[in-house]
Amino acid sequence: MPNYDTLYEALGGADGIRDLVERFYPKVQRHPLLAPLFPEDITPVMEKQYLFLTQFMGGPPLYSNEYGHPMMRARHLPFEITPERANAWLDCMALALSETDAPEPVRKLALERLSGPAHHFVNTESESSSH
Ligand code: HEM
């Protein structure tokens, strides 16, 4: 990632993160495994994700300033997150990243950084074994 101190900058700063979030959620809302988890009005979720991804990628701590410690795994506990849903989330993110102007190595690194948390948020066994 030459010429950049943070992934935040490499992704295009505030405008880049906003663009990514705006590309990501329509895919989530169209995904059969993910859509049922989210409210119809996705705007507040998008806003929180904008704040969170900003700080997660090394930008200013916008999420913590507003909501305190992220505790993201705990915040996801009310939702049944199966391994399939974690992969679906990452697939939507990969697709959204591929539509941005970010260079391929930057997209790859951003996805790698999100992959750990996504799998860490799994709190429910696969559908197939729970039915
Ligand atoms: C593993 C698959 C994931 C699923 C199925 C999932 C699903 C959800 C759902 C259902 C919500 C709540 C929406 C609402 O407010 O009603 C949420 C909130 C959120 N998710 Fe995820 N998520 C996943 C992974 C991630 C990852 C990897 C991140 C970032 C590292 C993330 C960041 C957030 C943030 C910032 C919020 C808003 C938290 C708040 O309420 O303050 N999620 N997610």
Residue with tokens 């505030």: 14
User: Average pLDDT, stretch 111-118?
Assistant: 98
**Ligand 1 first shell, C-beta below 6 A:** 34, 37-39, 45, 48-49, 52, 56, 67, 72, 75-76, 79, 81, 85-86, 89, 114, 117-118, 121
Structure tokens of 75?
């915040």
Cβ neighbors of 119 (< 8 A, separation 6 or more) are: 83, 86
| Digit-coded pLDDT (tens) for 12-52 | 999 999 999 999 999 999 999 999 999 999 999 999 999 99
Say what the pLDDT of residue 53 is.
Answer: 98
128 pLDDT above the threshold of 70: no
pTM: predicted TM-score of the whole model, two decimal places? 0.96
| Digit-coded pLDDT (tens) for 48-82 | 999 999 999 999 999 999 999 999 999 999 999 99
Say what the pLDDT of residue 130 is.
Answer: 45
| Cβ contacts of 12-21, under 8 Å, gap ≥ 24 | 12/100, 12/101, 12/102, 13/59, 14/54, 14/59, 16/100, 16/101, 16/102, 17/50, 17/53, 17/54, 17/57, 17/59, 18/50, 19/100, 20/53, 20/96, 20/97, 20/100, 21/46, 21/49, 21/50, 21/53
127 pLDDT above the threshold of 80: no
List the domains of the chain with CATH numbers. 11-122 (1.10.490.10)
Residue minimizing CA distance to atom 41 of ligand 1: 48
Higher pLDDT, 44 or 127: 44
Angle, to 10 degrees, between the axis of helix 43-56 and the axis of helix 13-30? 130
Say what the pLDDT of residue 3 is.
Answer: 81
Structure tokens of 86?
């974690």
Say what the pLDDT of residue 39 is.
Answer: 97
Cα–ligand 1 centroid distance for 96 (angstroms): 16
